Structure 1
Amino acid sequence: MNLAERLGHAPDARLLIVNADDLGMCLSANTGILALLDAGAISSATVMTPCSWAPAAIGAAGGHDVGVHLTLTSEWDSYRWGPVTRDAPVSSLVDADGYFPRDCRTVEERANPDEVYRELRAQVLKAISLGLDPSHADNHVTPPPG
């Protein structure tokens, strides 16, 4: 049985999934993405658990297809976020200010794979602890500066 069939469609059906990422990043992202989900204009969303608006997003997303937006970068100048891991060191994942690096290249060059695993697992577990039953995961990608 292929994915289309598992989703209740014909085996040869072509399906389009439109996913909105960055849910939980800020109030305006939550407002816009939840409105699109409610209107049926998008199929799903993914929440950034390191961000301060993630609990509100998860609380309001009931009944929608929501996954976890795995996050190791924080690209904004005046709004930053960092690891959710609290029970083990993740120093290779943060900059001098304690936030995630601004771009993927820095993560690729500095991140310890064990710390990456620990942090991504912690992000999924945080989503679950906030009441989300994640349907999928994707990643937050920040291009290098310039």
Structure 2
Amino acid sequence: MKYLVINCDDFGQSPAMNAAIMHLLEERLVSSATLMAPAPGFEEAAAWCRKRGQTNIGLHLTLTSEFDALRWKSLTGDPSLHDEQGYMYQSVLEFERGANTKAVMKELDAQYELVRGYGIKITHADNHMGSLYGIAAGRSHIPQVLMRCARWKVPFRIFRRVHAGDVLATIEGVERAASKASALAGTLGVALPDYLLSHPFEIVEGETYESFKREIIAKLYHLPEGISETYIHPGLDDPAMMAAIPHWEKRVWEYRLMLDDDMHAAMKDAGVTLVDYRYIAAHGRESRFRAVRRLAAELLRRT
């Protein structure tokens, strides 16, 4: 069977993002969304979730603030989490080089507690811009994050295997990194999706909405067996945001795609079932015995 989670990242980034994500959640056209606790639109998003009793909301662990015209600070105010302008780092490389690990974990705890303080029962966690993965300078916080997720009793967005047709497959060493991280997750009892599917978040040369739609629909027909997740950043066609965020139009396309009848017809035709992270929590946990054996084997590997 083929199961797919479609998660809306960046919930709480801005009013335009919030409006789009709220609409998709109301219409049940996506699986879930993850909240950005430090971002300027967080209070609006969190209050909406609390009022509705939304049961498919996760935590978008946020340690970076990438756009020149839309910046935010950490909740804890630790100097090692900020650049010279006093905002969270704009790039993952800056974050990995500058952030103190104890400060990082204190910040993640603060973000978790803030969301929980709104009465929201968090169903999963993921990471803004992959800042915790160690992909820029090799300084990973994955072990610490997985221990937090074990304590919080929520699944986390990493993946067990790499789908050959996905852009993640082009990253050198990704399969071994995924194997080691997923083995640690299994050892700690943290549930995961089997695969993570990605696509370029900027508009590539010659790309149109129709070509983007064809690309995503084609992926549905080649979805591997098991539980996959893909994530989008839907937003409304908002003039202020289009002026502030590069490639904002791609976010409008992602919102439009989730409203497109062709997308949902293709999911049905391709035999893909839309699920949320509660399904992963129930079915995405590896046996600890097997996970411990895999982790030991990975740690003993030299090449």
TM-score per shorter chain, which class?
0.7 to 0.9
Deviations 1:21-75 (A, max 9, x none): 0000111111000101111110000010001211211121232400110001001
Hey, what does 2:151 align to over in structure 1?
Answer: none
Give unmatched runs, 5+ long, in structure 2: 137-303
**Amino acid paired to 2:104:** V
Measured after TM superposition, the shift of residue 14 of structure 1 is: 3.1
Does the alignment pair 1:77 with 2:73? no
The root-mean-square deviation of aligned C-alpha atoms, in Å, is 1.6
**Amino acid paired to 2:123:** S
User: Any conservation in 2 of the 1:59–1:131 contact (CA below 8 Å)?
Assistant: no
Measured after TM superposition, the shift of residue 84 of structure 1 is: 0.7
Hey, what does 2:126 align to over in structure 1?
Answer: 138
Hey, what does 2:42 align to over in structure 1?
Answer: 54
Hey, what does 2:27 align to over in structure 1?
Answer: 39
User: Any conservation in 2 of the 1:85–1:122 contact (CA below 8 Å)?
Assistant: yes
Identity %: 37
Structure 2: how far apart are the matches of 1:36 and 1:114? 36
Does the alignment pair 1:24 with 2:12? yes
Hey, what does 2:99 align to over in structure 1?
Answer: 111
Instruction: Select the residue among 2, 26, 32 that pairs with 1:14.
Output: 2
User: Any conservation in 1 of the 2:55–2:123 contact (CA below 8 Å)?
Assistant: no
Does the alignment pair 1:92 with 2:83? no
Misfit runs of 4+, over 6 Å: none
- Whose helix proportion is higher, 1 or 2? 2
**Amino acid paired to 1:135:** T
Structure 1: how far apart are the matches of 2:7 and 2:124? 10
TM-score by length of 1: 0.82
User: Any conservation in 1 of the 2:54–2:120 contact (CA below 8 Å)?
Assistant: no
Hey, what does 1:9 align to over in structure 2?
Answer: none
TM-score by length of 2: 0.41
Structure 1: how far apart are the matches of 2:6 and 2:130? 20
Structure 2: how far apart are the matches of 1:28 and 1:102? 21
What is the DSSP-based 3-state SS (H/G/I as helix, E as strand, rest coil) of the residue aligned with 1:40? Answer: coil
Structure 2: how far apart are the matches of 1:77 and 1:92? 19
Structure 2: how far apart are the matches of 1:81 and 1:123? 13
**Amino acid paired to 1:109:** R
Structure 1: how far apart are the matches of 2:130 and 2:4? 25
Measured after TM superposition, the shift of residue 122 of structure 1 is: 0.6
Number of equivalent positions: 129
Deviations 1:55-98 (A, max 9, x none): 21112123240011000100111110010115xxx111101121
What is the DSSP-based 3-state SS (H/G/I as helix, E as strand, rest coil) of the residue aligned with 2:129? Answer: coil
Give unmatched runs, 5+ long, in structure 1: 1-12
Larger Rg over CA atoms:
2
Structure 2: how far apart are the matches of 1:27 and 1:64? 21
